[in-house]
Amino acid sequence: MTSQARSPAKVGTPSGPITLSHGSGGKATHALIESVFLKAFHNPLLAPLGDGAVVNVAGRDLAFTTDSFVVSPIFFPGGSLGDLAVNGTVNDLAACGAQPLALSAGFVIEEGFPLTDLTRVVSDMAGAARRARVHVVTGDTKVVERGKGDGCYVNTSGIGLVDERASGLSGAAALPGDKVMVSGPIGDHGTAVLLARGQLGISADIVSDTAPLNGLVAALLDAVGPHLHVLRDATRGGVATVLNEVAVASGVGVVLDEEAVPVRPEVFGVCEMLGIDPLYVACEGRMVAVVDGDHVADALAAMRAHPLGPESAVIGEVRAQPEGLVLEDTGFGGSRVVDMLVGDPLPRIC
Amino acid sequence: MRFVTEYRDRAKATALAGAIAELCAPGRHYKLMEVCGGHTHTIYKHGLEHYLPEAVELVHGPGCPVCVIPMGRVDDAISIAHQPGVTLASFGDMLRVPGGKGSFLDAKAAGADVRLVYSPMDALKLAVDEPRRQVVFVAIGFETTAPSTALTLLRAQAGGVANFSVFCNHVTIIPPLKAILDAKDVDIDGFIGPGHVSTVIGCRPYLPIAKEYGKPLVVSGFEPLDVLQSVYMVMRQLAQHRAEVENQYGRVVNWEGNRKALAVIDETMELRPHFEWRGLGSIPSSALKLRPHLSCHDAEERFEVPGVRVADPRACQCGQVLRGQIRPWECRVFGKACTPEKPIGTCMVSSEGACAAYYNFGRLTVPHSRPARPVTAK
C-alpha cells in the first residue's frame, strides 16, 4: 500500500496581483496569509492562525478577533450584512471558547448608499447583538466616493472572556479517537446568498443559517468541559476547509462519513445542479466540534438540546493516519480525498 | 432525494461489481476509456474504482471541453479582453485556464473587464444592459453547449444587438475519438460514451467507432450506477465478441439525438478546416466557427486576434493523459509543479479534468479499500 500524502501546510507562494481566489478562504488565502501577513506580523499569538487570538491579561485569557463583511447582496433570505457582522465576530470568539464582552463596528459606506438600507443594517446588528447578549461599544464611520466601494462594508472586532474549561481548545488539539461533530445542516448560508444574487434563475426555499453560537458553545462546555478539543466556525471554504486546517495543525487524519453529514434536501439539490460540493459551502451559524470519543454522546445531547443545534450530528472521526488529510467514505461505498478549497466553487459547464 | 439517491445504491453497485468481475477473462487486462469529464468526476467523487476488479482499468478521455482548449486560444481571448471597451464574458471553469500569458483571472486582476456568466444568454443580457460595452462571449464546449450559443446568436441577430459577439471554441466529439484510435500506441478496448453530448447528437454518429474500429461504445449517464452499468455493458460486449453502440442513458438520450438542437447549430455554425487541440494536436474538421452570415457577431472577425500558436508547456503531459496513455499521477509534474491552484496543464483546472479530479478526490489509496494498483509519485 503506497500513498501520496502531501507535506502538511504546503502552500504555494503567491505571485502577481491579488485575484478573487485570494479571498475565497481556501488555499490561495492561506498562501497569502502565510507569505505576506504572517511574514510581516509574525508573533506567537498570531502564529496558530485560529479564529481569534487569545491574550493573557492580568491572569485571565481574553479572546480577541476581527472580521470584515462585504456580502453581496446586503440583504438575503434569513439575514443581512448586519446579522453577519455581529454573528461572525461572536462566533469567532465562541470558537475560542469565549463569551463575548464587547464589540466594535467600523463602517465604510459608499456615497449614495440609501439611508434606509444603512438603518436596516444597523438595526439588524443591534438585534443580533441583543441575541448574543453583547453590546457594540465603539465604532467608526468612513464615506468613500461613488464607485469606490460597493454600498457598505462593515468591520467588527470583539473581545471575550475565555471559559476556563476551554483553555486547551486549539485547532492543533485533535487526537486520534476523537469524533467530529457539526451543529446543524451545512451549506445553507452560502447557497442562500448565491441564489439571492439572482443570476442562476433557480429559486428554492433556503434561508441563511446566520446565528450567534456563544450559547451553544457554553452548553457544550457545560456538558463535556475539557473533553472538547477543537471548535471551528465553518464559514468561508465550509466544513471541508476547516477540517483540512485541523488535520494539518493537529497532524492527524480526518475521515468523514458522507451519509452522516447533514445537508438539507433543497441545498443538496441546488448543489447537485451547480456541481458544487456542500462541504465547501459557507455556513454562518454552524460550529464544527472535535470531541473526545468517550464523551461524544454527552456532547451530542447538549448540542441537540440547544435551540440552535437540534440537527447536530456526528459526521466523522479523527485517526492517526493519513496525517494532514481529510477523507470521506462516500455513501456509494467508495472513498475520496476532501481537499482544501481552490478558488470559489465554480459551476460545471456541461 | 428523488432521481439522485436511486442511482447511488450500494447494494446494486455491489451486484454490478460482481457481474463485471464474472465477465473478465482470466489473465486479460481491459482498458476502457470514459470519454467525458463528467464521468471522470463521478468516478473519483464516488470512489467508483473501488468496485472494479483489478483487470478493468478506466482511462480518461478528451471529453472535458476546458481541458482541450489550447493555450493560444486563451491568449487570443485575453488579447480581445484588453481592447478598449470590451467586456469578456466566460463560464467559471475557463477563468483559471492558463494561457501562454496567464489566465482570465490574471487578466481581470490586471484591469480587463472579465465577467463570469452561467449561460450565453447572460452574456447577451449584459450586452443589452450595457450598450456602450462590446460584450464578447467565450463559447466553449462540445455539441452539448453549442445549441445554447446558437440560440443566443439567433436572439442577438433578431434583436439587432450589435455590441454582442462570440469567440467560438466549440468542438465536436467524434473527430478526437477517431484521432485517439488512429494513434499507434493506444490500446483501448472500449468506450464509456459521453451522455450529455449524446442528448444532442444521439447515438448514430458513434457507429464508425464500433463498425470501422471494432470498439464497443456504451453511451452512459452520470450517476455512479450509470457508469458501473455502462462498464458492465461494454464488458458484456467484449465477452460476446461484439462491437456495437449501445445506450445505457435511455432516460435522457435517444438514438437520433435532438433534431431542433442540431438544426440551430447547423443554422449558425460550420466546421473549421482545422482546430488545434490541447495535447492532441491539429485535428481536421473537429471544431465549429460562426457561419459568414453571422460575421457581425463573430469576435474573430470583429477584433484583432493574434492567433499565435503557443506550444504546450514541455513539462506537461496532458496530451498523453487525454489519449489514455498515462494516468494523471504518472505525469512528471502532477501534484508537484502542477496543482489545481497553480495549473500547468488544463487537465488540472476544471473539476472535470482527469488530473484535477484525481488530485481532488483520489490521491490516496485508503487502508480499508481494496488493494488498488500502486499509486506512486513519479
User: pLDDT in tens for each of the 378 residues of chain B?
Assistant: 667 778 888 889 999 999 999 999 999 999 999 998 889 888 888 888 888 999 999 988 888 888 888 889 999 999 999 999 999 999 988 888 888 888 998 999 899 999 989 899 999 999 999 999 999 999 999 999 999 999 999 999 999 999 999 999 999 999 999 998 998 778 899 999 999 999 999 999 999 999 999 999 999 999 999 999 999 999 999 999 999 999 999 999 999 999 999 999 999 999 999 998 888 889 999 999 999 999 999 999 999 988 888 887 888 888 888 777 888 888 888 888 888 877 888 788 777 788 888 887 766 543 333 333 333 333
Identity of the residue in A199, A336, A347 whose CB atom sits nearest the CB atom of B361: A336
Give the 3-state secondary structure of residue B347.
helix
8 Å CB contact of A342 and B341: yes
What is the DSSP-derived secondary structure letter of residue B330?
Answer: G
B281 and chain A in contact, CB less than 8 A: no
Residue B237 one-letter amino acid:
Q
What residue in A sits closest to B64 (Cα-Cα)? A350
Using a CB–CB cutoff of 8 Å, tell me whether B65 touches chain A: yes
C-beta atoms of A330 and B66 within 8 A: no
Q: Which of B96, B201, B364 to probe by mutation at the A interface, max A CB count within 10 Å?
A: B364
Residue showing cell 476523537: A178
- Distance in angstroms (rounded) separating the CA atoms of residues A317 and B28: 40
Give the residues across from A54 on adjacent strands. A63
Q: CA torsion angle for A164, A165, A166, A169 (degrees, to 10)?
A: 130
Q: Which residues of A touch B118 (CB under 8 A)?
A: 199-200, 347
Contact across the interface for B335 and A6, Cβ inside 8 Å: yes
Q: What is the pLDDT of residue B268?
A: 98
Chain A within 8 Å of B376 (Cβ-Cβ)?
yes
List of domains in chain B: 71-171+287-302 (3.40.50.11740), 325-362 (no CATH)
Q: Are the C-beta atoms of A78 and A210 separated by less than 8 Å? A: yes
**Which of B49, B96, B363 lies at the smallest CB-CB distance from A4?**
B363
B202 — contact with chain A (CB < 8 Å)?
A: no
Does B13 contact A at CB distance below 8 Å? Answer: yes
Nearest beta carbon to residue A269 from set B1, B14, B342: B1
- SS3 per-residue string spanning chain A: CCCCCCCCCCCCCCCCCCCHHHHCCCHHHHHHHHHHHHHHHCCCCCCCCCCCEEEEECCEEEEEEEEEECCCCCEECCEEHHHHHHHHHHHHHHHCCEEEEEEEEEEEEECCCCHHHHHHHHHHHHHHHHHHCCCEEEEEEEEECCCCCCCEEEEEEEEEEECHHHCCCCCCCCCCCCEEEECCCCCHHHHHHHHHCCCCCCCCCCCCCCCCCHHHHHHHHHHHHHHEEEEEECCCCHHHHHHHHHHHHHCCEEEEEHHHCCCCHHHHHHHHHHCCCHHHCCCCCCEEEEECHHHHHHHHHHHHHCCCCCCCEEEEEEECCCCCCEEEECCCCCEEECCCCCCCCCCCCC
Cβ distance of A350 and B109 shorter than 8 Å: no
What is the number of alpha carbons within 13 Å of residue B78 lying toward its C-beta? 24
pLDDT of residue A342: 65
C-alpha A5/C-alpha A324 separation (Å) is 8
Partners of residue A13 in chain B, C-beta under 8 Å: none
Question: For residue A340, how many C-alpha atoms fall within 13 Å in the half-sphere facing its CB?
Answer: 28
How many angstroms away from the CA of B181 is the closest CA of chain A? Answer: 24
Place of cell 465576530: A89
Q: How many residues does chain A have?
A: 350
* Chain A residues whose beta carbon lies within 8 Å of the beta carbon of residue B109: 16-19
Coil, helix or strand at residue B152: helix
Give me the residues of B, 32-61, that contact A with CB < 8 A: 38, 41, 44-51
Domains recognised in chain A with CATH numbers: 53-162 (3.30.1330.10), 179-337 (3.90.650.10)
Q: Which of residues 4-23 of A touch B (CB under 8 A)?
A: 4-6, 12, 16-21
Contact call for residues B280 and B62 (beta carbons, < 8 A): yes
Indicate the DSSP class of residue B99: B
Residues from chain B contacting residue A27 (CB–CB below 8 Å): 340-341
Q: Nearest 5 degrees, angle CA B112-CA B115-CA B116?
A: 145
- A127-172 pLDDT per residue, tens: 999 999 999 999 999 999 999 998 999 999 999 999 999 989 999 9
CB contact under 8 A, B340 and A342: yes
* Nearest residue on chain A to B108, alpha-carbon basis: A19
- Name the 3-class secondary structure at B241: coil
The percentage of residues in chain A with a pLDDT greater than 70, rounded to a whole number, is 93
The torsion region of residue A267 among left (phi > 0), alpha (psi -120 to 50) and beta comes to: alpha
Q: How far apart are CA A313 and CA A185, in angstroms?
A: 9
Query: Which of B46, B142, B375 lies at the smallest CB-CB distance from A334?
Result: B46
pLDDT at B205: 97
Paired residues of A329 in beta bridges: A257, A335
Closest in B93, B122, B365 to A348, CB measured: B93
In the stretch 182-211 of chain A, residues with CB closer than 8 A to chain B read 199-200
Considering only CB atoms, which chain B residues are within 8 Å of A17?
106, 109-110
Grouping H, G, I as helix, E, B as strand and the rest as coil, residue B56 is strand
- Across the interface, do B342 and A321 touch by the CB < 8 Å criterion? no
C-alpha distances in Å from residue B11, one per residue of B41, B193, B225? 22, 25, 10
User: Which residues of chain B neighbour A325 with C-beta distances below 8 Å?
Assistant: 364
- A·B CB contacts under 8 A: 144
Min distance A76 CA to chain B CA atoms (Å): 20
Q: Compute mean pLDDT per 10 residues along chain A, 350 residues long, and list them.
A: 37 69 77 91 88 90 94 93 96 95 97 97 97 96 93 96 93 97 96 85 90 97 97 91 94 96 94 87 95 98 98 98 92 84 49
Interface of B with A in 161-200 (CB under 8 A): 196-197
Cell of A322: 493519513
Those of residues 95-134 in B touching chain A at CB distance below 8 A are 95-96, 102, 105-106, 108-110, 116-118, 122
Chain B CB contacts of A4 under 8 Å are 329, 335, 363-364, 375-377
B-chain residues near A12 (CB < 8 A): 339, 341-342
Tell me what pLDDT residue A344 has.
Answer: 57
Q: Least CB-CB distance to A327: which of B106, B342, B366?
A: B366
Tell me how close the Cα of A347 comes to any Cα of chain B, in angstroms: 7
Collect all residues of chain A within an 8 Å Cβ-Cβ radius of residue B95. 343, 346
Which pLDDT score, from 0 to 100, does residue A339 have? 84
